[in-house]
Amino acid sequence: MESLRDIRQNIKAVRSTQQIMQTMKMISSARIRKAQQAMENARPFAKKMLEMAADLKQEVLAMAEPEGTESWASRFFLNKTGDPNKIGLVVITGDKGLAGSFNAVILRAVVAFLKENQDKQVSIFCVGKKGRDFISRFRHKNIRIVYHSVGIFPKVAYAHAELLGDAVMKEFFDNNLGSVSLIYNDFKSMGSQRLAQYELLPLQLAAGAEKEKDETDFEFEPGVKEIFRLLVPRLVKAHMYRVLLESQAANLAATMNAMDAASKNAGELVGALEVKLNKVRQAGITNEILDIVNGAEALNG
């Protein structure tokens, strides 16, 4: 049986851990408001960029190109000449644990993706220490990390999205990738996060993004192609920025919920240990009383 001293030390340790969990919950709760605001501010910009690309898509694709070649814009939307055996994967996780199943859900999806494409060359772009450390353990010749970024959460800036977007675009065109997929946790609400997995490149416009054009003719200076070529990198970076902000908010929400649940569990554990402490103390007192009674009876006998 544990001694009173051991039980008191356990109670002290659990209470200390509970205080840390409550502090982490409060920090996440304070940061998530700012993260939500940044995320909501980025959504309209990313949506408008997508609409602008949709407006120019048909005009750019309709322009004639030399036979046997594929235009830069066509690569971006159709990618007929991309190598299907070369693909890219953008993985966005957190830098730390203590966030429930936030990272585990993403990493399980990554494992499933790599198993499904084990016969292909996979170029991986990692954001977050958990994802980078996990993928770096893979010893497979077809899997390589071409870009990684850690320590950017919870202070994501547009500069981080620019670096990620540049790396994705460079690898997509220079290494002739057939596609680039994205896996991360999307912010749904304070109480839940949703795994998001879809193809980033070639760009799949959502239903309704391509609007019917009116009969008005527009003149573009210096030209449609030039404008589109400037627009596309900004579109990718704006999308990356929105995704990073969504993941940041989801991570903070997951941490807050996990720490809240852990703090409650710690409180219940402290209660159970206190009951155990009282039982041990009462048992000790009872034994001492019995010893005194038995000693008195022995003297009287």
DSSP states along 72-141:
HHHHHHT-TTSEEEEEEEEEE--SS--STTHHHHHHHHHHHHHHHTTTSEEEEEEESHHHHHHHTT---T
- Specify the pLDDT at position 216: 44
> Which pLDDT does position 217 carry in this prediction?
57
Q: What is the pLDDT of residue 177?
A: 92
Helix (H, G, I), strand (E, B) or coil at 219: coil
* 3: three-class secondary structure by DSSP: coil
Residue 83 β-bridge partners: 177
Instruction: Report the predicted TM-score, pTM, of the whole model to 2 decimal places.
Output: 0.80
Averaged pLDDT in 10-residue chunks for the chain of 301 residues: 82 88 85 84 80 71 57 70 90 90 94 93 95 89 92 91 93 91 90 88 64 53 72 85 92 89 88 88 83 79 62
Contacts (Cβ under 8 Å, ≥6 apart) of 6: none
Whether omega for the bond prior to residue 233 falls within 30 degrees of 0, making it cis, is no
Domains and CATH numbers, the chain: 41-256 (3.40.1380.10)
Reading phi first (left if > 0) and then psi (alpha if -120 to 50, else beta), residue 16 is in alpha
Check if the beta carbon of residue 182 is closer than 8 Å to that of residue 174: no
